């Protein structure tokens, strides 16, 4: 069994929640690279079928070889494609987009929204783990009609990572700059005293102090946070 990093284990944890109520179905791993996540999902019986997409040929081949070696050649497909292009979504799918920049994630999801009917999307769960630009991802998701089900954090090889699980409801909402930068669900966990989220926020506070000089969203988020903390 392939050793999973803390970061991928966190992503897998969100997939487990997403799959709790749906037996079978597909896991779609966009940007699968090594294929570890898809393999683990199949090993755990979280999905009957895995679809991996990769924009580059070499990681696509790596994913395919790993799936075949793990004995999942018959229940997996690997596509060389950009995001979800040419992969129609189906009700019950869980889509994972992990280890990519936030702008790339927004681009992939916005194209998937255009390519798939709302009735399908309402029954698809997205597990997203942006490497950066979390505020842009969260603002986009809210405006596009997604709802946050959960967010998690982990500390892996000296780096904090976060992950969000969202579902499409089709009703556009606006989130505050504080929610966009810190995460609406993570803010609740912080208020409830979650030690890992407290450590993550201390780290964010530090980097945001510097970043606020050039980023108005971060500046507003810090001001909101200080105001709310003073209440």
Ligand X SMILES: C[S@@+](CC[C@H](N)C(=O)[O-])C[C@H]1O[C@@H](n2cnc3c(N)ncnc32)[C@H](O)[C@@H]1O
**Dist. CA 17–CA 191, nearest whole Å:** 22
Q: At closest approach, how far in Å is the CB of 222 from ligand X?
A: 29
Please, which residue, 108 or 124, has the CB nearer to ligand X?
A: 108
Starting from the edge strand earliest in sequence, which strands make up the sheet with 159-168, in order? Answer: 76-80, 49-54, 26-30, 94-100, 125-130, 159-168, 146-156
Please, which residue, 112 or 204, has the CB nearer to ligand X?
A: 112
Please, which residue, 59 or 183, has the CB nearer to ligand X?
A: 59
Q: At closest approach, how far in Å is the CB of 224 from ligand X?
A: 31
Q: At closest approach, how far in Å is the CB of 221 from ligand X?
A: 26
**Residues at the contact surface with ligand X, assessed by CB under 6 A:** 8, 30-33, 53-56, 59, 82-83, 98-100, 104, 108
Please, which residue, 56 or 191, has the CB nearer to ligand X?
A: 56
Q: At closest approach, how far in Å is the CB of 5 from ligand X?
A: 7
């Amino acid at each position: 069994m392939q050793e999973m990093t803390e970061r991928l284990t966190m992503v897998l944890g969100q997939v487990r929640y997403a799959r709790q109520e749906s037996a079978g179905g597909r896991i779609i791993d966009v940007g699968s690279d090594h294929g570890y996540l898809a393999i683990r999902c199949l090993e755990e019986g979280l999905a009957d079928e895995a679809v991996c997409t990769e924009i580059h040929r070499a990681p696509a081949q790596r994913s395919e070889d790993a799936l075949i070696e793990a004995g999942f050649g018959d229940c997996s497909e690997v596509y060389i494609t950009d995001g979800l292009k040419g992969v129609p979504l189906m009700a019950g799918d869980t889509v994972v987009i992990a280890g990519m920049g936030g702008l790339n994630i927004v681009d992939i999801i916005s194209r998937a929204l255009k390519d798939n009917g709302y009735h399908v999307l309402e029954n698809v769960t997205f597990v997203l783990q942006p490497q950066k630009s979390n505020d842009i991802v969260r603002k986009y998701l809210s405006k596009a009609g997604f709802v946050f089900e959960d967010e998690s954090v982990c500390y892996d090889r000296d780096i904090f990572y976060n992950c969000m699980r969202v579902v499409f409801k089709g009703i556009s909402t606006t989130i505050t700059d504080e929610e966009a930068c810190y995460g609406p669900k993570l803010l609740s966990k912080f208020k409830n005293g979650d030690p890992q989220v407290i450590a993550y926020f201390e780290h964010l506070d530090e980097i945001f102090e510097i970043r606020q000089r050039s980023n108005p969203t971060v500046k507003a988020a810090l001001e909101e946070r200080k105001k709310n903390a003073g209440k």
